[in-house]
């Protein structure tokens, strides 16, 4: 390996690089979240995160059927025909893209939860910054150096954890398949990552095969770095041992990059590796143009992407079931942002705000959380899907309900007390979570009158026990006001929202009480 390549693709190493089935794998020994998860509960639960890079168009993935006319009017050139939408058992308000038959079957088997309109206040539309926000769990106006997992370890286990692997923890606590160390696993002391770009480089490294080094000062430095790198491959034996235990797996779709990655994850999980978290990814979701085919909107680039994700997840879960390891795994998809409500003239969609997330697994509670996204009668290019759920609520729910983390630690990890959602059965942690049932979507928990209004409107809301919050967003997803955020007794309340300082247009009032939320469109006119 050339010196510049080695220095470029390696870092201070507490990470194991290895190759299985042609993919480079990084093992995170001191990932803050993962080390804490290891002692959070005495279980062998695994979380698999699937990153859809580029910004997935959620409106053409989870298609609103109850407001199909508004959806079709906003997307005349890319809307999926109503008759082609895949229906979900016992749910009539929305369905899946026709390419997602695998996910449809998993949903109908009771193993999928769809979470509508996940985002955060005042979203950022830069791929790089938005990705950073999702991986670190930051607000849009702050930059965090540690990932959301890193803060967990800092809270639970202060100080450096440089004693891994050891007799009690011989396996890596997190593995990312790919070549970039995720900021989600960044600890307070910086990255402990090491990336190898090819199988040849890896095997040369672990077998001690080295390109000759020049008899110079720089050559001696390179030789020393190679020696240190070789000493860091502490997890190689554990990963190889786990992979070797699985000699046959189920069928996976061919020419599917995500499926190839998930096949490795299934192999390691079923092989008994105690790794807590895996990160995989698939790209191409930045669909500004040619998102669909003009003659058939069920086909095209986005259909291939969604079909690939759906087929890969279905094959992964089938494989885990055949290997008797499916009960160890919960998976989730995420993307750095969604797309705008209105399609553009290039048969595509531009950077937007909120989008659905998919959570899947044997212990996942079947359902669709939230309403179909609010779509104005006359959409403009500025209209975004309003946020219903904060993405950090999903993190908090998985940490609490799958990794059994208590609320005190959750508040420290995520820096705020985010609402928890009914995603995973209480059986997973041996407890009943106590989360209330999701309210009937037909019950209006927040209304306003008059609507439309000129300068002010009266907001009426019905709440139960605990903290109640009302946020007001504009069509760009920017948070413009928080008129209510306090503890209530159960009852019906009213407030006057003074919007005299705001320009005319559509606004969204978001109501939140515990795990329950609703969004109300409001129109300010002259």
CA distances to 39, 132, 196 from 178, in Å: 27, 17, 9
Task: Say which range, 15-24, 49-58, 68-77, 162-171, has the weakest mean pLDDT.
Answer: 15-24
Q: pLDDT (tens digit, 9 = 90+) per residue, 115-156?
A: 999 999 999 999 999 999 999 999 999 998 877 766 764 564
User: Are the beta carbons of 318 and 249 closer than 8 angstroms?
Assistant: no
Closest by CA position to 278, among listed 14, 8, 50, 464:
50
Residues in the chain: 526
Topology annotation, domain 446-524 = Immunoglobulin-like (2.60.40)
Q: pLDDT (tens digit, 9 = 90+) per residue, 211-223?
A: 676 777 777 666 6
In this prediction, residue 225 carries a pLDDT of 57
Return the structure tokens found at 128.
């790089």
Q: Would the pLDDT of 191 be above 80?
A: no
User: Are the beta carbons of 264 and 34 closer than 8 angstroms?
Assistant: no
For strands 86-88 and 91-96, give the pairing. antiparallel
Query: Where is 51: in which H helix or E strand?
Result: strand 46-52
Closest by CA position to 144, among listed 156, 134, 159:
134
Return the structure tokens found at 485.
């955020």
Domain coordinates in residue numbering, the chain = 39-429, 446-524
Q: Would the pLDDT of 162 be above 80?
A: no
Return the structure tokens found at 108.
């109908």
Architecture of domain 39-429: 3-Layer(aba) Sandwich (3.40)
Q: pLDDT (tens digit, 9 = 90+) per residue, 46-88?
A: 999 999 999 999 999 999 999 999 999 999 999 999 999 999 9
Which band of pLDDT confidence, cut at 50, 70 and 90, is reported for residue 396?
Answer: very high
User: Model pTM?
Assistant: 0.81
Half-sphere CA count of 172, side-chain side, radius 13 A: 34
């Amino acid at each position: 390996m050339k010196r510049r390549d080695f220095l470029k693709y390696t870092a201070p190493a507490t990470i194991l690089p290895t190759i299985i089935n042609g993919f480079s794998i990084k093992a995170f020994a001191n990932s803050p979240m993962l080390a804490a998860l290891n002692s959070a509960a005495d279980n062998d639960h695994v979380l698999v995160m699937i990153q859809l890079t580029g910004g997935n168009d959620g409106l053409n993935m989870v298609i609103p059927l109850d407001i199909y006319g508004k959806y079709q009017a906003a997307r005349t050139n890319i809307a999926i025909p109503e008759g082609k939408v895949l229906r979900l058992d016992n749910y009539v308000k929305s369905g899946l893209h026709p390419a997602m038959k695998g996910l449809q079957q998993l949903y109908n088997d009771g193993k999928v939860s769809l979470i509508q309109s996940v985002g955060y206040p005042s979203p950022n539309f830069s791929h790089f910054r938005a990705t950073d926000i999702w991986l670190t769990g930051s607000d849009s106006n702050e930059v965090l150096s540690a990932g959301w997992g890193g803060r967990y370890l800092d809270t639970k286990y202060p100080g450096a954890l440089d004693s891994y692997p050891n007799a009690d923890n011989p396996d890596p606590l997190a593995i990312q398949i790919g070549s970039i160390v995720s900021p989600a696993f960044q600890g307070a002391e910086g990255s402990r990552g090491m990336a190898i770009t090819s199988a040849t480089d890896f095997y040369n490294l672990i077998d001690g095969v080295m390109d000759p080094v020049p008899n110079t000062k720089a050559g001696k430095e390179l030789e020393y770095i190679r020696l240190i790198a070789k000493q860091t491959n502490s997890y190689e034996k554990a990963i190889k041992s786990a992979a070797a235990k699985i000699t046959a797996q189920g069928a996976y779709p061919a020419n599917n990059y995500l499926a190839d990655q998930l096949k490795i994850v299934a192999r390691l999980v079923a092989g008994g590796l105690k790794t807590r978290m895996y990160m995989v990814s698939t790209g191409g979701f930045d669909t500004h143009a040619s998102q669909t085919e003009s003659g058939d909107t069920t086909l095209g680039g986005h259909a291939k992407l969604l079909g690939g994700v759906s087929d890969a997840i279905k094959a992964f879960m089938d494989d885990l079931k055949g290997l008797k390891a499916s009960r160890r795994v919960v998976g989730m998809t995420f993307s750095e942002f969604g797309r705008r409500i209105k399609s553009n003239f290039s048969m595509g969609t531009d950077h937007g705000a909120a989008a659905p997330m998919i959570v899947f697994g044997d212990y996942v509670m079947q359902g669709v959380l939230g309403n179909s996204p609010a779509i104005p009668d006359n959409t403009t290019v500025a209209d975004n899907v309003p946020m219903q759920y904060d993405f950090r609520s999903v993190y908090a729910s998985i940490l609490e309900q799958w990794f059994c983390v208590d609320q005190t630690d959750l508040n420290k990890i995520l820096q705020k007390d985010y609402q928890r959602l009914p995603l995973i059965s209480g059986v997973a942690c041996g407890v009943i979570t106590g989360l209330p049932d999701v309210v009937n979507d037909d019950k209006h928990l927040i209304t306003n009158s008059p609507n439309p209004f000129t300068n002010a409107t009266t907001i009426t809301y019905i709440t139960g026990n605990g903290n109640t919050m009302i946020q007001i967003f504009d069509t760009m997803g920017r948070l413009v006001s928080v008129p209510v955020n306090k503890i209530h007794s159960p009852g019906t309340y009213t407030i006057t929202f003074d919007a005299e300082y705001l320009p005319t247009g559509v606004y969204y009032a978001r109501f939140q009480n515990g795990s329950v939320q609703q969004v109300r469109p409001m129109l300010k006119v002259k």
